């Protein structure tokens, strides 16, 4: 009879019966001794054992209680056998195995809370259960990966510093904000390998990956590849993107970004300098950026499109087509119009707007920092009413 897998220092209870040769219930004429053996050792223990004969005055039904906190003999990671020795029942000497149990020595899926393996630099080395559980985290990165593979798990809770030992599959890494640090270690991340809430992400990665609420503050010129995805992340070091990336609501602190292939930035903020856009197939789309965008002189090909937002844009590119659509930050500049074309109703439908940093330059027509080609569509709500702008495209041409 297997009683179960008990926690360390718990107490266990079970009942067992004694019968005569015909199967009837009978008490013991000699009680014998109940002993506990550990694993395959030949030295038993009687510590913490209470044996109640004819429990509740029921003949032939006996109760055994074992206090697992009574002695160091009972410990985590072991299996035990409860054995009756030297009893006399119905005139016969009886030695019998009454029950078996274990102490935190059986894998149970629900023992890994939420299907996670736990890693902590202050934990325990090894790959044998319960190492890797919340109560006994793994302290070795490779061991943690081994435990996940052996138990078909794909979630890792990280406390302290964790260096990815080998290229993971679609593993999700969960951090504790302010106390979790992951070194990508130049490993290839699977498309759905995901990191959450990391106080610091170090090193480069290849093969994609997704990052949520992570901080990139310690590694300069790290590389991320293959359409990596960043959501609500913070960047304080220069980095490189190969083969595309997407950024959603990320913040940047005066960083240089080398962008390649097709990249998207949605509702981001801060200060960035875009460099290295130098292939005709490079297309960088920026939506709703708040802050400052500088386009460096190493941008020599491709296209950068800036949509909405109120970013201050400084274009020092040498060959990259930089287009700004709608919501230009005109309140920062002074402007003049030229090359105006009107429709039949006298509305200016096309014109060129030149932007200047100050009123003096605007009046002199010198030191223009940008030239915008503006195309406007008008609508008249009702006959005789004033015409209203229904759409406007602003495209930066220089």
Residue 331's pLDDT is what? 44
Is the preceding omega at residue 62 within 30 degrees of 0, hence cis?
A: no
Break the chain down into helix, strand, coil percent, rounded to 5. Answer: 5, 50, 45
CB atoms within 10 A of CB 179: 14
How far is Cα 222 from Cα 201, in angstroms, rounded to an integer? 10
pLDDT in 10s for each residue of the chain, 398 residues: 899 888 888 999 999 999 998 999 999 999 999 999 999 999 999 999 999 999 999 999 999 999 999 999 999 889 999 999 999 999 999 999 999 999 887 655 446 777 899 999 999 999 988 899 988 999 999 999 999 998 889 999 999 999 999 888 889 999 987 789 999 998 888 878 899 999 999 998 887 889 999 999 888 889 888 789 999 999 999 999 988 899 999 999 999 999 988 899 999 999 999 999 999 999 999 999 999 999 999 999 999 999 888 788 899 999 999 988 754 444 445 566 777 888 887 878 787 877 776 677 777 877 776 677 778 777 777 777 777 766 666 666 65
Q: Which pLDDT value is given to residue 367?
A: 73
Q: What is the pLDDT of residues 43-99, one digit of tens each?
A: 999 999 999 999 999 999 999 999 999 999 999 889 999 999 999 999 999 999 999
Measure Cα distances from 77 to 8, 41, 124, 191 in Å. Answer: 9, 14, 14, 37
Element (H, E) at 360: helix 359-364
Q: Looking at residue 329, what is its pLDDT?
A: 45
Contact 229, 212 (CB under 8 A): no
pTM: 0.60
182 beta partners: 162, 201
Phi (first) and psi of residue 223, to 5 degrees: -115, 135
Count Cβ neighbours within 10 Å for each residue of 20-38 and write b for 16 or more, e otherwise: eeeeeebebeebbebbbbb
pLDDT for position 395: 66
Looking at the structure, give the CATH architecture of the domain made up of residues 2-103. Sandwich (2.60)
CB 314 within 8 A of CB 292: yes
Q: Are 220 and 203 in contact (CB under 8 A)?
A: no
Contact between residue 197 and residue 179 where contact means Cβ atoms under 8 Å apart = no
Contact 341, 350 (CB under 8 A): yes
Tokens coding 108 = 């149970």
User: Mind listing the pLDDT tens digit for each residue in 328-366?
Assistant: 444 445 566 777 888 887 878 787 877 776 677 777 877
Please give the Cα distance from 6 to 376 (Å, whole number).
76
What residues form DSSP beta bridges with 216?
A: 235
CA nearest neighbour of 198 among 190, 187, 209:
209
The predicted pLDDT at position 191 comes to 74
**302: buried, middle or exposed (CB in 10 Å: 19+, 13-18, 0-12)?**
buried
Task: Give the pLDDT score at 54.
Answer: 94
Report strand pairing: 290-295 vs 49-52.
Answer: unpaired
Q: Which residue pairs from 114-117 have beta carbons closer than 8 angstroms and sit at least 24 positions apart in sequence?
A: 114/155, 115/153, 115/154, 115/155, 116/153, 116/155, 116/156, 116/157, 116/174, 117/144, 117/147, 117/148, 117/151, 117/153, 117/155, 117/156, 117/157
Cα distances (Å, whole numbers) of residue 357 to 163, 198, 248, 315: 48, 41, 30, 14
Let me know: does 224 contact 207? Beta carbons within 8 Å.
no
pLDDT of res. 334: 58
Q: Where are the alpha helices (DSSP H) in 76-197?
A: 141-150
């Amino acid at each position: 009879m297997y009683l179960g897998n008990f926690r360390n220092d718990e107490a266990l209870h079970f009942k067992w019966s004694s019968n005569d040769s015909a199967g009837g219930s009978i008490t013991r004429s000699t009680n014998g001794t109940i002993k506990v053996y550990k694993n395959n050792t030949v030295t038993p223990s009687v510590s913490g054992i209470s044996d109640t004969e004819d429990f509740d005055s029921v003949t032939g039904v006996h109760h055994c209680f074992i206090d697992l906190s009574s002695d160091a003999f009972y410990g985590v990671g072991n299996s035990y056998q409860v054995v009756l020795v030297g009893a006399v029942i119905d005139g016969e000497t009886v030695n019998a195995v009454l029950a078996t149990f274990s102490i935190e020595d059986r894998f149970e899926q629900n023992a890994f809370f939420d299907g996670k393996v736990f890693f902590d630099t202050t934990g325990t080395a090894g790959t044998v259960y319960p190492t890797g559980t919340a109560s006994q985290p793994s302290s070795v990165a490779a061991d943690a990966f081994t435990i996940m593979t052996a138990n078909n798990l794909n979630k890792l809770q990280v406390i302290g510093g964790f260096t990815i030992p080998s290229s993971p599959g679609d593993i999700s890494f969960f951090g504790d904000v302010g106390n979790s640090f992951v070194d990508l270690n130049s490993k290839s991340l699977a498309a759905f390998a995901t990191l959450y809430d990391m106080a610091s992400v170090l090193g480069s990665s290849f093969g994609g990956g997704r990052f949520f609420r992570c901080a990139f503050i310690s590694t300069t010129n790290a590389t991320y590849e293959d359409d990596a995805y960043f959501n609500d992340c913070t960047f304080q070091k220069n980095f490189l993107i190969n083969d595309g990336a997407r950024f959603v609501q990320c913040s940047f602190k005066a960083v240089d970004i080398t962008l390649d292939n097709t990249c998207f930035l949605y509702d981001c903020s801060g200060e960035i300098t875009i460099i290295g856009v130098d292939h005709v197939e490079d297309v960088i789309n920026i939506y709703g950026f708040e802050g400052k965008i500088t386009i460096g002189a190493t941008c020599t090909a491709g296209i950068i499109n800036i949509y909405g937002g109120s970013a201050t844009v400084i274009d020092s590119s040498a060959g990259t087509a930089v287009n700004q659509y709608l919501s230009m930050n005109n309140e920062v500049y002074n402007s003049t119009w030229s090359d105006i074309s009107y429709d039949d109703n006298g509305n200016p439908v096309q014109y060129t707007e030149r932007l200047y940093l100050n009123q003096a330059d605007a009046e002199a027509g010198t030191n223009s920092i940008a030239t915008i080609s503006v195309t406007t569509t008008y609508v008249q709500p009702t006959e005789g009413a004033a015409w209203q702008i229904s759409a406007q495209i602003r495209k930066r041409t220089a």
